[in-house]
Amino acid sequence: MIDLTWMAWTWPTAIFFLTIFGLIAMMGVWEYVSPGGNPRFGILRFETTRGDRLFLSLLGSAFICLGWLASTELSLWYALLVCLAWAVLVFRLV
């Protein structure tokens, strides 16, 4: 096993950051295969690309998880479901 005790890492934390890295890498591949990303105006009334929508969904998910931790004792798995719904809404509407 890999020793993740430096910097107080845990496996869930490592998986979290690997997932973000994977999402950014997949967006890079998607942009390489299909350049441009079809900028569009959504409900926020400013032009966004796929990368902008990914950033907004990740940023919103961070705030959802922080709010979840501050306001409830329920498992973060439920917050993950809320974050996934948030990401779908951002990619569809923004």
pLDDT tens digits for range 37-74: 788 898 888 899 888 999 999 999 999 999 999 999 99
Total domain count for the chain? 1
* Number of other CB atoms surrounding residue 3 within 10 Å: 6
Q: What secondary structure does DSSP assign to 2-61, as a single string?
A: ---TGGG--HHHHHHHHHHHHHHHHHHHHHHHSTT---EE-TTSSEE-HHHHHHHHHHHH
pTM: 0.79
* 57: containing domain: 6-93
Residue 62, in any domain of the structure: yes
Residue 32, in any domain of the structure: yes
Residue 17, in any domain of the structure: yes
Residue 23, in any domain of the structure: yes
Residue 1, in any domain of the structure: no
pLDDT, one tens digit per residue, over 2-26 is 776 676 777 777 888 899 999 999 9
